[in-house]
Structure 1
Amino acid sequence: MNTLSHLVTSLLDQDVTAPNTQLGVLRINGSDAGKFLQGQVSCDMTKLSEDKSLYGAICSVKGRIISNFFVIKEQEDILLVMSASLVETALNHLKKYAVFFKVTLSVATDEFAIQASFTESDNPQTPDALDEWLPTTISDDAITLTISESPTRASLCLQRNANALADNAPASPQAELLSLLTARPLIDAEHSEEVLPQWLNMQRTGGISFTKGCYTGQEIVARMQYRGKSKKQLALFTWKGDTDVSSTLLDSEGKSIGSVFKAAYYHDLNVAQIILNIEPTEVNDFFLGEQAVALIPLPYRLENTK
């Protein structure tokens, strides 16, 4: 059993379910919704169906992520589930291109109560890459999509009654840690237009299609994949104890080798997603300030990006 499995076992002594108030929803309605988004997002919208959702990103012309999301097809509508702090940003960006299509864009966050769930996976094996299709079920009451099967079965449930979770589903720090361990992150406003999709491993987590054709930022994203020399990648780290640590990752000589992307803690256990600017095999010891931290495996395999 590897370190990741040990962490999951310690956190998942029973199923974990909690509201996720940090997520919001952008709705795209109209006969051209899929065609419109095909030219704007990194995933292949022709593969979207009511029972298969996708993971993708809206990029700037420089290839930086404006917002990334999980995309759901609901009859004639398309829903983008993303950080609530970026719904308006994504709306305003897409509106610039929507005038050429038969689509209507609107904020739908208040229509749903979003809940995250983590259960033991039926397939705990580490895959080479995460599947681009996210199994989805749609009912009159809710939309449920499975985000990942490794290292846990992680799901999001969009309940149509926006007040459904208010009284009986407290926040869960365990859920925050388990979400980080899926290593399929959604960016917040502070990172908008700061990171390339590959820096979040989206080429291995089903978030980028390299065969779909052109979309905004596609040339930069493709060049990074086939010609780029950047070693930047998302990695997982853990440590016990102090939560007040530096956001800069150092090697044993004090050289900066990465920065914290997201972090959470539960009791004395800390987990962080860190964007490395080196290959992790190049360094033996890692530190956040004076705090020693341990590299743990990803829930998928990551090819050498050299």
Structure 2
Amino acid sequence: MNTQWSAFMQSRPASAVQPTADACVLNDLSHFGLLRVSGEDAEGFLQGQMTNDMREVTAGHSNLCGWCTAKGRMLASYRALRQGDDFLLQTPAGNMATSLKRLQMFVMRSKVTVTDASDELVRFGLTGNCVEALLQPHFTSLPDETNSVVEQNNLILIRLSGEVPRFEIIGPVDESISLWEALESGTTTGDSHYWALQNIRAGIPTIFPETAEAFVPQMTNMQLVDGVSFTKGCYTGQEVVARMHYLGKLKRRMYLAHISGDFEPKPGDALHAANSQSGQGAGKVVDAQAADGGFDLLVVIEVANAENEKITLGETGPALEIRNLPYEFTSESE
């Protein structure tokens, strides 16, 4: 974390935020890392690595994308955006070392540089029905669609999906501190758990080291959240991803679920269904956060068992209550 930003955050009053519908919440997002991909071949390089079309990442649009092995299994998930001629890839901090090392291995003769920009730029989020009114005095216009971007005064503002309006701000430390101070009188401070819960309820998958290589993108609904392009051309793992899209029948996909009690699930935890015939088990936890006297989860489950069988955490853990995602499964994901 940027040392100036770290000192600033330590000086702010902390508050534990419960996820209520009317909360107006500021979130430090330093638990995410940031990769910078620069050079005249940057777009072409990333086009050959990521699941989404990097030509669509512009000054006005960001996207989600996955990075796969040759077998089509996701190593990491990112939010991709532009800063001038450079690309920025945001991912959980735990993915940074592997992402940086492996991406640099693939550069080869391309005119591309991949660096860790986590300390260069601050990231923080703003969630709640109040946020548009709070942001309007500081931006001449706000992004009007999910994944759209506005840049002003060196600050990048991204509209994200969610139950209520949600934005992320990325920028230099001085400008970020000034904006945070201007916003905090009308908000309360959240933590990384609160922000993760918003992603879970929005149905946005996050790949952690514990789940690296566990899922093909479609298993985590990446195609339903603008995270996969099926027309962009070749990239690592594309043949497997495309084959499942055009020829295969998706046997696993991601669901939103809830469990009661204090049995805390973790990314990568195994799920159990008595009638599962798969050698890979009934499914895995993608992410989970405390909510409503238990935990909300994103889980990848066998489609055949998800709605008709009792699914539990492990063989003896609590049962999952499947809830509705904020988007519908398409016919191609059946």
Range of TM-score over shorter length: 0.7 to 0.9
Q: Give per-residue Cα distances to partners, 1:27-76, cap 9 Å, x unaligned.
A: 01112111211111111111121011111111111111121111111111
- 1-side partners of 2:80 and 2:247: how far apart? 29
For residue 166 of structure 2, what is the aligned residue in structure 1? 154
For residue 294 of structure 1, what is the aligned residue in structure 2? 321
Question: For structure 2, which runs of at least 5 residues remain unmatched after alignment?
Answer: 1-17, 132-143
Q: Name the stretch that deviates more: 133-142 or 254-263.
A: 254-263
Describe how 1:202-281 pairs up with structure 2 within 5 A.
Answer: 202-244=222-264, 247-251=269-273, 257-266=282-291, 268-279=293-304
Kindly indicate which of the two structures has a greater share of residues assigned to strand: 1
RMSD of aligned residue pairs (Cα, Å): 3.0
Deviation of 1:185 after TM superposition, in Å, equals 1.9
- 2-side partners of 1:96 and 1:10: how far apart? 41
Relative distance call for 1:26 and 1:132 in structure 2 (3 A) is: farther
- 2-side partners of 1:284 and 1:97: how far apart? 43
Q: Does 1:138 align with 2:147?
A: no
- 2-side partners of 1:193 and 1:68: how far apart? 11
Relative distance call for 1:24 and 1:101 in structure 2 (3 A) is: same
- 2-side partners of 1:280 and 1:116: how far apart? 36
Counterpart contact for 2:265–2:285, Cα < 8 Å = no
Q: Give per-residue Cα distances to partners, 1:102-148, cap 9 Å, x unaligned.
A: 111110011122223222499xxxxxxxx997111223342221221
Q: What fraction of aligned residue pairs are identical, expressed as a percent?
A: 28
Relative distance call for 1:12 and 1:174 in structure 2 (3 A) is: farther
Deviation of 1:237 after TM superposition, in Å, equals 0.6
Q: SS state of the match for residue 148, structure 2?
A: strand
Structure whose CA Rg is larger:
2
Q: Does 1:200 align with 2:220?
A: yes
Name the aligned partner's letter for residue 169 of structure 2. C
Counterpart contact for 1:152–1:182, Cα < 8 Å = no
For residue 308 of structure 2, what is the aligned residue in structure 1? 283
TM-score, length of structure 1 as denominator length? 0.83
Question: For structure 1, which runs of at least 5 residues remain unmatched after alignment?
Answer: 1-8, 123-130
Relative distance call for 1:27 and 1:264 in structure 2 (3 A) is: same
Counterpart contact for 1:237–1:293, Cα < 8 Å = yes
Deviation of 1:97 after TM superposition, in Å, equals 2.5
Deviation of 1:157 after TM superposition, in Å, equals 1.8
Number of positions where the alignment pairs a residue of Structure 1 with one of Structure 2: 288
Alignment partner of 1:57 out of 66, 72, 75: 66
- 1-side partners of 2:111 and 2:145: how far apart? 27
- 2-side partners of 1:133 and 1:30: how far apart? 28
Q: Name the stretch that deviates more: 284-293 or 33-42.
A: 284-293
Counterpart contact for 1:141–1:161, Cα < 8 Å = no
For residue 175 of structure 1, what is the aligned residue in structure 2? 195
- 1-side partners of 2:19 and 2:79: how far apart? 28
Relative distance call for 1:186 and 1:259 in structure 2 (3 A) is: closer
TM-score, length of structure 2 as denominator length? 0.77
Counterpart contact for 2:74–2:216, Cα < 8 Å = yes
- 2-side partners of 1:265 and 1:152: how far apart? 19
Counterpart contact for 1:286–1:292, Cα < 8 Å = yes
Counterpart contact for 2:145–2:159, Cα < 8 Å = no
Counterpart contact for 1:132–1:206, Cα < 8 Å = no
- 2-side partners of 1:245 and 1:93: how far apart? 29
